[in-house]
Amino acid sequence: MIAPASVERVLDAARIEDIVGDFVRLRKRGANMLGLCPFHNEKSPSFNVNVTGNYFKCFGCGKGGNSVQFLMEHEQMSFPEAIRYIADKYNITLEEVDASPEQKVEMLHREKLLEIAAYARKHYEQELWETQEGKNIGMSYFKERGFLDTTIKKFQLGYSSKERDSFAKKAKLDGFPEDHLQELGLINKYGNDFFNDRVMFTIHDISGRPVAFAGRILIKSENSPKYINSPESEIYKKSKVLYGLYQARQAIRKMDDCIIVEGYTDVLAMAQSGIEHVVASSGTALTEEQIKLIHRFTQNVTILYDGDPAGIKAALRGLDMVLEQDMNVKIVLLPGKHDPDSFIRESGAEGFLSYLEQNASDFITFKAKTLSEDSKNDPIRKAALIKDVLESISKIPDTIKRSRYLRECATLFDIDETLLVRELNQMLKKVNL
């Protein structure tokens, strides 16, 4: 248990603008700072950070408090976790005192899981950098993909040995309980390693703590999937994590845009080339929680997926959820069989950015281009396409934005705007019933 004197030192040191600024994009307004509230949906900033008083207050939803209360509410941290987070940020050494057995059980379980995840990350890194097998196989793979040492270290990449219980033996020997190791999916029910003979990608939470892993197989096998991932646990909820967000959050604020890609290596390749405001949905469909995470840092999203049918489908699937959060969205599909990793290696960062700028479409243009092939001159299919676009417009909370997109839709499809307004109003009535 953290000594009260240490808690006081942490509270005295914590600056609200520093803590909140790790998670919310803030802009100076007089003596205070403003941003979009991370606790409720809003389009005009009502979230106020009072630098002088050292507290935050949202005048929209009413939430407020100090740095610790912000972390507890925003990151679902316990009080001790919030204190430790701030202490780490300001390099404050905490003094510990005895706690009751009940308090220890409650406080330590989550911390133990985080400790094990950090331990596993270190193990996989050591396997990559310090063993001959890791150098010959894992490091060779990363180097063949063109990744530099700085990138490998920044994203804490690693390697899992071919030996079936390399990690399990070491972790058990170092005193980590088998049930905790199984809970995080690091070992299986037989007590052997879950990850074998794979390069490892560490998945971090928004605070930079390892919470899960993805392992990529290096030799194709019909019996083994290309990627395997940690199961969900108390510290890892897949729908609430975006790969690379911890490393990208400052760049996202700076660029006021977030590029969403599909894969881990896409993030690595782009970040290494200097395009750092990029995160990955890691092959899964975008979720509302993930979009809200991005909204903390910017209101602008660029969805960048492969140009194959699967990439188009994924882009369409994520579109409406972004619009529902009242965010601005652009979509870019890459040419041919390229993914972001291969395209940036071929075109370079400058050519890549130029392609993005020239080929970014708003959602109406994107849907019109990608779906109009099916409709062609068929009036029934064309009507279905227009309704599909209207469904997306109906997701936008802002009435002025909706009006602007309706006008664009009318022009693009050469149809009377009043008809579109009538149809849209019918859609909105059904939703509000």
Residue with more model confidence, 344 or 220: 344
> pLDDT band at residue 284, thresholds of 50, 70 and 90?
low
SS3 of residue 212 by DSSP: strand
Put the strands of the sheet holding 32-35 in their side by side order: 27-29, 32-35, 47-50, 55-58, 64-65
pLDDT digits (tens, 9 = 90+) for 200-217: 999 998 878 899 999 999
pTM equals 0.76
**Residue 69, pLDDT score:** 92
**Residue 371, pLDDT score:** 67
Average pLDDT over residues 151-174: 96
Whether the CB-CB separation of 299 and 327 falls below 8 Å is answered with: yes
Distance CA 341, CA 61 (A): 42
Q: Tell the burial category of 233 from Cβ atoms under 10 Å away from its Cβ (0-12, 13-18, 19+).
A: middle
Residue 109 above 60 pLDDT? yes
> pLDDT band at residue 198, thresholds of 50, 70 and 90?
very high
N-term to C-term CA, the chain: 52
* Tokens (6 digits) for 249: 């959050």
Q: How many CB atoms lie within 10 A of CB 316?
A: 19
**Residue 285, pLDDT score:** 74
> pLDDT band at residue 13, thresholds of 50, 70 and 90?
confident
Q: Which among 319, 272, 278, 275 is positioned nearest to 298, based on CA atoms?
A: 278
Residue with more model confidence, 129 or 397: 129
Q: How far does Cα 269 stand from its chain's mean position? A: 17
The owner of tokens 């009242």 is 326
pLDDT digits (tens, 9 = 90+) for 69-85: 999 888 878 888 899 99
Average pLDDT over residues 38-49: 89
Q: Which among 232, 339, 200 is positioned nearest to 278, based on CA atoms?
A: 339
pLDDT digits (tens, 9 = 90+) for 355-392: 999 999 888 888 777 766 666 667 788 888 888 889 88
Distance CA 45, CA 181 (A): 43
Distance CA 44, CA 35 (A): 8
Residue 107 above 70 pLDDT? no
- Amino acid, single-letter form, for residue 137: I
**Residue 355, pLDDT score:** 93
> pLDDT band at residue 432, thresholds of 50, 70 and 90?
low
> pLDDT band at residue 297, thresholds of 50, 70 and 90?
confident
3-state helix, strand, coil in the chain (%, to 5): 50, 15, 35
Q: Which among 173, 213, 191 is positioned nearest to 181, based on CA atoms?
A: 191
Highest mean pLDDT among 3-7, 244-248, 320-324: 244-248
Strands 258-261, 278-280: pairing kind = parallel
Strands 210-217, 55-58: pairing kind = unpaired
Q: What is the dihedral of CA 252, 210, 38, 280, to 10 degrees?
A: 50
**Residue 338, pLDDT score:** 86
Q: What is the 3-state secondary structure (H, E, C) of 328-362?
A: EEEEEECCCCCCHHHHHHHHHHHHHHHHHHHHCEC
Sign of the C-alpha dihedral computed for residues 352, 354, 357 and 363 taken in this order: negative
* Tokens (6 digits) for 55: 């507290």
Put the strands of the sheet holding 278-280 in their side by side order: 278-280, 258-261, 300-305, 328-333
How many helices, marked H, and strands, marked E, lie in the chain?
19, 13
Distance CA 94, CA 117 (A): 22
Q: Which residues of 100-127 are buried (b: 16+ CB within 10 A; e: fewer)?
A: eeeeeeebeebeebbebbebbbebbbeb
Residue 415 above 80 pLDDT? yes
Average pLDDT, the chain: 88
Distance CA 308, CA 329 (A): 20
> pLDDT band at residue 111, thresholds of 50, 70 and 90?
confident
Distance CA 171, CA 358 (A): 51
Q: At CB < 8 A and 24+ separation, what contacts does 287-291 make?
A: 287/239, 287/240, 287/321, 288/321, 288/324, 288/325, 289/237, 289/239, 289/240, 290/239, 290/240, 290/241, 290/242, 291/318, 291/321, 291/322, 291/325, 291/327
Identify the structural domains of the chain with CATH numbers, from first to last.
Answer: 4-89 (3.90.580.10), 101-236 (3.90.980.10), 240-360 (3.40.1360.10), 368-432 (no CATH)
pLDDT digits (tens, 9 = 90+) for 152-162: 999 999 999 99
In the Cβ-directed half-sphere of 328, how many Cα atoms lie within 13 Å? 11
**Residue 374, pLDDT score:** 61
Q: Which among 215, 383, 206, 166 is positioned nearest to 297, based on CA atoms?
A: 206
